[in-house]
Amino acid sequence: MAVKDKSKKRLSRENILDSALKIIGTHGIYSLTHRSVAKEAKVAHSTVSYYFRTIDDLTVGAFKKLIADDEAVSDAQLLNLVEKKGTFSIEEFVGVIASGLKSKHKSGYLLQAEYELFVYSSRNKELAEAMRNARKRDVDGVQKLLDRKGYKNVDAEIILSIFGEFARDLVHNNLKGAELKVKKVLNLIEKLKK
């Protein structure tokens, strides 16, 4: 019985976080309230308050869920590439990042939610810290991959900054600009490889 209750609580918490991301992505960060999340998640207001005492707790929780989901998807895509070929090119790696951002954009709200949370992080220390940690983990991972592939002169921070511009273009429906950013990344990598 206790295992069933824990599973039910985990599902309820996940549902609340998914609902929070949907509200942030569709209506903006300032529309996020315990009541709006409870309505979207179809749970009692007290359930949302039980898991997340403040809106800041809910915001940080939603961001951490977004990051965990992103990592799971990108890890699966990279693993799929490695399993198919045994190795992969830098173009395929860049393609995985770009396709992940595009699919997030197609979801209708996830990329917008990430953008809203990024903007809001300047006002929330805990969210800013979570974003810095996620960014550092991303930069370290990309840098290790670039180094392993022989692209030691390529700075992962610059590459991820360009992908930040790519994501911003997608949020603002500038698809042509987004495609140019992918070409910019590939050109920069090739130029710095020499």
Contacts 24+ apart (CB under 8 A), 113-116: 113/21, 113/22, 113/24, 113/25, 113/62, 113/66, 114/66, 114/167, 115/167, 115/168, 115/171, 116/24, 116/25, 116/28, 116/29
User: Which domains does the chain carry?
Assistant: 2-193 (1.10.357.10)
pLDDT at 5: 57
pLDDT at 190: 79
Angle, CA of 100, 97 and 28, to the nearest 5°:
50
pLDDT along the chain (194 residues), means of 10: 56 90 93 95 93 93 87 70 67 78 78 86 88 85 80 82 82 81 83 71
pLDDT at 1: 47
pLDDT at 181: 84
In this prediction the pTM is: 0.76
Helix (H, G, I), strand (E, B) or coil at 152: coil
Give the position of tokens 């590939």.
Answer: 186
Give the position of tokens 């790696």.
Answer: 93
pLDDT at 145: 78
pLDDT at 159: 82
